[in-house]
């Protein structure tokens, strides 16, 4: 049974519903190669747990190669690369056939391989396609920050992507810095009003054909649906932005809202992207959002392990809610196993098993490989249990079920009619 399940999982196409990957047209935003893998922000925070020969500020002033050299020495040579993010780098090299260089611990030989694979723009395009194929990822939904000058400059030039990339409208700034968002759009000749904001968002909706709105919400986010306080357009609080802008727009455009709860941004600001933490968030707020807005679809994931059981129960209660993935600090084998077991036991196949959240192209190889190992172990046990109970399953049914967890539940939810 285990062999059959492992092979089915390996052969099943994946939709990676949230990553930070970009097509090669997005130049400096499209990250790949060993130095990007080694300077992943997860590894930077792990470096400074054990390393004190340079300040964090001075580390960030170094070149990416110099940063990678330090991380390689400190976390791979002087210490066994045992953490999930360290092991991921090894898995990537293994999958790319670099076993000899890994055995020799020869970082420069590894660099030469990646340089060779990406030595010109057409090779980079081929390489991206090859990595998606190796990871069996049919497509990913990008993180397109439409309130970021750098990103919309690139998006204005190239908004037609290969079928490997679908888009999203990432709107954290709209919700938590409405005044700043008005300033932002005024630089593109939109009036600093709610109508201006809605027209700006509709411009990108029409240009990008996004899958969903997305925003990460801090752990102390609390949805207050009764907030009928007077608001003036230049200083809306986040509840007013949800009530008067985002949710009406999501319903008008029939666009789901993907909320990621539980961040604690800037826990250690010196570390930059590597310095964010997490907090126990308000699952009740998600339930209220779903209950008060039955015509709006919500996708949700929570960053804290503590919230996972209540999230499962909430997902049982609201047909307009779909939960997905083991996000960020939950994307570790021990936690993926506990959370996925709970979700199968309480939601059946009605959730999306994982998203990789990859920032560097080749992370698709390790993040999915590591997660699929866990899924294989879980499903072997679960199928043996149902067979023990007297229900026989054939390979086609297992293929159907696995496909639900890796892509079909998401696509079914996105097509679901909310007519009740
Ligand atoms: O807000 C997000 O989408 C998070 O995934 C952050 O980008 C975070 O820094 C991250 O990369 N987590 O994996
Ligand atoms: Zn992310």
Q: Stretch 385-394: mean pLDDT, rounded?
A: 98
Supply the residue whose CA is at minimum distance from atom 10 of ligand 1. Answer: 328
Supply the residue whose CA is at minimum distance from atom 13 of ligand 1. Answer: 328
**352: Cβ contacts below 8 Å, ≥ 6 apart:** 15, 17, 322, 323, 324, 325, 405, 406, 407, 409, 410
Share of the chain above pLDDT 90, in %: 95
Q: CB neighbours (10 Å) of residue 396?
A: 9
Q: Stretch 26-42: mean pLDDT, rounded?
A: 97
Q: Is the pLDDT of residue 246 over 90?
A: yes
Q: Is the pLDDT of residue 373 over 70?
A: yes
The response to whether residue 267 sits with its C-beta less than 6 Å from ligand 1 reads no
The response to whether residue 328 sits with its C-beta less than 6 Å from ligand 1 reads yes
Q: Stretch 252-279: mean pLDDT, rounded?
A: 98
Q: Stretch 214-243: mean pLDDT, rounded?
A: 89
How do residues 7-28 score in pLDDT, each as one tens digit?
A: 999 999 999 999 999 999 999 9
CA of 276 to the centre of ligand 1 (A): 9
Under the banding of pLDDT at 50, 70 and 90, the label for residue 160 is confident
Q: Stretch 321-337: mean pLDDT, rounded?
A: 98
Under the banding of pLDDT at 50, 70 and 90, the label for residue 420 is low
How do residues 166-196 score in pLDDT, each as one tens digit?
A: 999 999 999 999 999 999 999 999 999 999 9
Integer CA distances (angstroms), 316 to 95, 101, 256, 353, in order: 38, 48, 18, 16
CA of 317 to the centre of ligand 1 (A): 27
Q: Is the pLDDT of residue 234 over 90?
A: no
Using CA atoms, how far apart are residues 410 and 175, in angstroms rounded to an integer? 25
The response to whether residue 357 sits with its C-beta less than 6 Å from ligand 1 reads yes
Chain-centroid distance of CA 162 in Å reads 19
CA of 329 to the centre of ligand 1 (A): 10
Kindly tell me the sign of the dihedral angle through the C-alpha atoms of 35, 41, 46, 48: positive
Q: Stretch 384-409: mean pLDDT, rounded?
A: 98
Under the banding of pLDDT at 50, 70 and 90, the label for residue 6 is very high
Q: Is the pLDDT of residue 202 over 90?
A: yes
**406: Cβ contacts below 8 Å, ≥ 6 apart:** 9, 12, 13, 14, 15, 352, 353, 354
Using CA atoms, how far apart are residues 374 and 197, in angstroms rounded to an integer? 43
Under the banding of pLDDT at 50, 70 and 90, the label for residue 68 is very high
The response to whether residue 404 sits with its C-beta less than 6 Å from ligand 1 reads no
Cα dihedral 230→235→238→244 (10° resolution) = 50
Share of the chain above pLDDT 70, in %: 99
Q: Which atom of ligand 1 is nearest to the CA of 18?
A: 3
Lowest-pLDDT range of 60-69, 219-228, 385-394: 219-228
Supply the residue whose CA is at minimum distance from atom 12 of ligand 1. Answer: 328
Q: Is the pLDDT of residue 309 over 80?
A: yes
Supply the residue whose CA is at minimum distance from atom 2 of ligand 1. Answer: 216
Q: Which atom of ligand 1 is nearest to the CA of 359?
A: 11
- Tell me what pLDDT residue 32 has: 98
Q: Stretch 303-328: mean pLDDT, rounded?
A: 98
The response to whether residue 297 sits with its C-beta less than 6 Å from ligand 1 reads no
How do residues 93-146 score in pLDDT, each as one tens digit?
A: 999 999 999 999 999 999 999 999 999 999 999 999 999 999 999 999 999 999
* Nearest-ligand number for the alpha carbon of 273: 1
CA of 273 to the centre of ligand 1 (A): 8
- Tell me what pLDDT residue 388 has: 98
Supply the residue whose CA is at minimum distance from atom 8 of ligand 1. Answer: 328
pTM over 0.95: yes
Tokens in use for 148?
């970021």
CA of 260 to the centre of ligand 2 (A): 9
Q: Is the pLDDT of residue 39 over 70?
A: yes
CA of 171 to the centre of ligand 2 (A): 13
33/158: higher pLDDT: 33
Q: Is the pLDDT of residue 384 over 80?
A: yes
Strands annotated E in 130-170: 137-141, 165-166, 169-170
Using CA atoms, how far apart are residues 45 and 381, in angstroms rounded to an integer? 35
Strands annotated E in 151-207: 165-166, 169-170
Which 8-state DSSP code applies to residue 242? I
CA of 215 to the centre of ligand 2 (A): 10
Using CA atoms, how far apart are residues 365 and 258, in angstroms rounded to an integer? 24
């Amino acid at each position: 049974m285990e062999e059959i399940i492992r092979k089915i999982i390996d052969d099943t196409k994946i939709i990676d519903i949230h990553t930070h990957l970009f097509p090669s047209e997005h130049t400096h935003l499209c990250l790949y190669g060993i130095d990007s893998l080694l300077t992943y922000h997860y590894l930077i925070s792990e470096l400074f747990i054990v390393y004190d020969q340079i300040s964090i500020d001075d580390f960030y002033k170094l070149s990416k190669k110099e940063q990678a050299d330090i991380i390689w020495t400190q976390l791979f040579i002087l210490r066994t690369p045992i953490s999930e993010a360290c092991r991921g780098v090894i898995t990537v090299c293994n999958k790319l056939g670099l076993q000899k260089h890994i055995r020799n611990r020869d970082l420069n030989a590894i660099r030469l391989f990646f340089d060779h694979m990406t030595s010109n723009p057409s090779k980079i395009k081929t390489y991206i396609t090859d990595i998606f194929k190796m990871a069996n990822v049919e497509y990913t939904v990008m993180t397109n920050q439409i309130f970021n000058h750098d990103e919309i400059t690139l998006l204005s030039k190239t908004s037609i992507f290969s079928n490997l990339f679908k888009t999203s409208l990432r709107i954290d700034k709209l919700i938590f810095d409405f005044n700043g968002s008005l300033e932002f759009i005024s630089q593109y000749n939109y009036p600093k009003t709610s109508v201006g904001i809605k027209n700006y968002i509709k411009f990108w909706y029409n240009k990008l054909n996004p899958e969903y709105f997305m925003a990460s919400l801090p752990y102390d986010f609390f949805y207050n649906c009764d907030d009928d306080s007077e608001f003036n357009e230049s200083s809306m609080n986040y509840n007013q932005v949800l009530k008067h802008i985002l949710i009406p727009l999501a319903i008008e455009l029939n666009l789901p809202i993907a909320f990621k709860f539980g961040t604690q941004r800037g826990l250690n600001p010196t570390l930059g992207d590597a310095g964010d933490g997490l907090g126990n968030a308000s699952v009740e707020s998600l339930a209220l959002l779903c209950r008060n807005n039955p015509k709006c679809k919500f996708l949700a994931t929570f960053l804290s392990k503590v919230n996972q059981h209540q999230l499962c129960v909430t997902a049982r209660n609201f047909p307009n809610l779909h939960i997905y993935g083991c996000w960020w600090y939950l994307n570790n084998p021990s936690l993926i196993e506990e959370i996925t077991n709970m979700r199968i036991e309480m939601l059946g196949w009605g959730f999306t098993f994982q998203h990789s959240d990859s920032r560097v192209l080749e992370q698709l190889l390790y993040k999915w490989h590591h997660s699929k190992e866990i899924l294989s172990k879980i499903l072997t046990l679960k199928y043996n249990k149902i067979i023990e109970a007297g229900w026989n399953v054939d390979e086609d049914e297992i293929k159907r079920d696995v496909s639900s967890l890796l892509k079909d539940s998401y696509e079914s939810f996105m097509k679901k009619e909310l007519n009740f």
